[in-house]
Amino acid sequence: MARYSSKTRDRVKLLLRQRNEAQQAAQSLQAEAELTRGVRQYLQEIDLGKEDFSLLLDLGAALRKGDFKTFYQGVKPYVDLAEEALGLQLPPDVAQYVQQGHMTTEAAKRYAQERLQRQIAESRDQRTRATHEQQQTARQQEDLGNAVRDTVAQWENEVRKVDPDYGHKQDLMKDMLWSVVREMGTPQNPQHAVQIANEAYRRVNTQVARFRPAPRPTQASPSSVHRATGVSPEPKSLMEAAMIGLERSRRSA
């Protein structure tokens, strides 16, 4: 450091301080990310949804602030449910059976508890099925995306073999593909994806053909201007057609 000028030393010190601050920020973000992953994993393990987790946080905040009215209103339904599960109170409909003499109090408690357990089990099964369906749908979409990607890549390789100008058409193809997708919808299967690609390719070729110069007919008596070179041959590629067009525009100017 002593060999550097004061301005350079200040600059180095600034860079070192910024590096240290960046390292501390990265460590803090990493710790937060690990905490978030841990909480998410814990919620998945105990099968606690986002809405339930938010409710618990809101109730905890209300309790911490001393807002007991909000806290009581939030926990009251769960307290009633817990008392029913423990047999401390009967649900209103079951209590009517007891009052009408159809059931004893003890039988009503067992009935209410068994019914509640069935409801909880059914709710758990529904969540499990919903999670399984979501995962299955995600896998199917991923498989479809991979199949469409591979099929279109294979289609593109085949087109390259027969169309030497395809490399020059790729930018047009990308724009045209989005246009065709908006009209025909997203690919439902690999065959549909090929149909979309073929339609986009057809439209691109139509556009390119508009800029390709038309072939000049052979004159019966060639003029002296073209006697040496003859009629210009048909361009063999998109690049060659563009060069011929530029040359003609220069001559006309």
Q: Where are the domains of the chain?
A: 1-41, 153-211
* pLDDT the model gives residue 75: 93
In contact, 176 and 197? CB cutoff 8 Å: no
Task: Kindly state the average pLDDT of the residues 134-148.
Answer: 90
Instruction: Identify the band that residue 226 occupies on the pLDDT scale cut at 50, 70 and 90.
Output: very low
Other CB atoms within 10 Å distance of the CB of residue 144: 16
pLDDT digit string (tens) for 143-177? 999 999 999 999 999 999 999 888 888 888 888 88
In contact, 104 and 95? CB cutoff 8 Å: no
CA 129 centroid distance within chain: 23
Distance CA 91, CA 99 (A): 12
* pLDDT the model gives residue 227: 44
pLDDT digit string (tens) for 84-114? 999 899 999 999 999 999 999 999 999 999 9
More confident of the two residues 14 and 243? 14
Measured CA angle at 86 (ends 85, 87), to 5 deg: 95
Q: Residue 214: is its pLDDT beyond 70?
A: no
The rounded mean pLDDT for the chain is 83
DSSP at 196: H
Query: Which has the minimum average pLDDT: 1-15, 115-129, 208-222?
Result: 208-222
Nearby residues of 177 by Cβ (< 8 Å), 6 or more positions away: 196, 197, 200
Q: Residue 233: is its pLDDT beyond 50?
A: yes
Q: How far is CA 29 from CA 20, 21, 22, in A?
A: 14, 12, 10
Q: Which two tokens stand for residue 129?
A: 């099925």
DSSP at 147: H
Q: How far is CA 207 from CA 51, 87, 176, 240, in A?
A: 53, 78, 11, 16
More confident of the two residues 221 and 113? 113
Distance CA 124, CA 48 (A): 11
* pLDDT the model gives residue 224: 46
pLDDT digit string (tens) for 25-81? 888 888 888 888 888 887 777 777 778 888 889 999 999 999 999 999 999 999 999
* pLDDT the model gives residue 128: 85
The residue with tokens 């068994």 is 114
Instruction: Work out the percent of the chain whose per-residue pLDDT is above 70.
Output: 83
Task: Kindly state the average pLDDT of the residues 191-202.
Answer: 92
Q: Residue 196: is its pLDDT beyond 50?
A: yes
* pLDDT the model gives residue 186: 87
pTM listed for this prediction: 0.49
Instruction: Work out the percent of the chain whose per-residue pLDDT is above 90.
Output: 39
